[in-house]
Amino acid sequence: MDLSTTFTGVKLQNPFLLSSAPPTESESNILRAFEAGWAGVVTKTIGLHPVVNVVGPKSKFLRADANSSRLSMNKRPGAALHSSWNWELISDKTLDWWVPRLGRIKRAFPDRVLVASIMAGSGSDTELRCWQQLAVACQEQGCDALELNLSCPHMDRPDMGSNVGRDKELVSIVTKIVKDVATVPVWAKLTPSTTDIVLEARGAFLGGADAISSSNTFTSLPLIDPDTLEFEINVDGLVSTGGLGGPAILPLSLAKISQLTQAFPDKSFSGIGGISTFEHALNYFLLGCGTVQVCTAAMLDHAVGPNVIRELTEGLTRFLDKQAVRGWTHVSDFVGLRRDRVVAQSKIRRPTEKDYRGGYHAEGYAPPDESAGVQRAVRK
């Protein structure tokens, strides 16, 4: 079974990549990821500015009880993963640290795809040249593509991260600046925390982006512990916004992807958000993504997801075997197959006039007998 695919001109052994996140923050992790079977890895975002992360935990996992409505980051028996939360900044390692390691990784795995995630500012020509410096340094070490981090949800600087990603003009400018020096494909990673992600995507494509990665985590806060009245993750009692990922954002991220692939059906997209099984990834493929990226599930599976990538590839194999009667042999055979099923609400069929009761029972939200029972109980 051939699971390979070509995305923005780059050949991958399978359509599954580790996304830019804690699992890809070191040479050893990336090497382990390739050994486990990931076709591609997007490095932890590399920058030029000194970065110091907060003390204490930078990533935590929110869990839900099976038999109650409790949500908490506290580990406990029987709880299921709800989401991940992090306020980790980009790599705190310098470009000089990354450069030799990128070269060693590519020499060790020349048949795997290494994507360098990069980020700089946008407030001046000097900052824009930083993007070019990062791009040139990474591609000279053999990186197969560049992913522009226009989406980190918790950068303090107004000219970095999602603060850039919410401005379609800055997105376009940064993308063009990188494309001016790039000799490899350029992917723009966008933020979901925007009014209309299609506008920023259009800016990226106008700047020459070869693909869009969507989407980064959603801006959020951790919950407050009802017993201590403290945020479940904090430093000296203080917290700032971070990024929500994992299972909870799967439907949200799919909505963003649907907007993008419908607006640009002939462009390339890498889907991110809530993926841990092939069935999750299939949603992204059917909506128009050529590849998908995984983070949270891998973090909880030996940091780099050896069992996750095995399930993904085995799931894709089973799916292609099952769909052989349709003549499908590659991922590209079903990419975008359900994209056009997502329509405006007004296009969803309505009941006939005879049956329509405002969407509810004629007497309100509950049948008359139940409503009467509730009223009697209240009076008592």
Q: Which residues are catalytic?
A: 152
Helices (H), ranges, the chain = 27-36, 95-108, 125-140, 162-165, 168-179, 197-206, 250-263, 278-287, 296-299, 306-322, 368-379
Answer positive or negative: Cα dihedral of 296, 302, 303, 304: negative
The three-state secondary structure class of 297 is helix
Count of beta carbons in the 10 Å neighbourhood of residue 191: 27
The three-state secondary structure class of 256 is helix
What lies within 8 Å, CB to CB, of 119 at 6+ separation is 45, 46, 47, 90, 134, 148, 149, 150, 152, 160, 161
288 phi/psi in degrees, rounded to 5: 125, 10
Burial grade of 192 (CB within 10 A; 0-12, 13-18, 19 or more): buried
Answer positive or negative: Cα dihedral of 141, 201, 281, 266: negative
Residue type, 322: K
Say if CB 296 and CB 244 are below 8 A apart. no
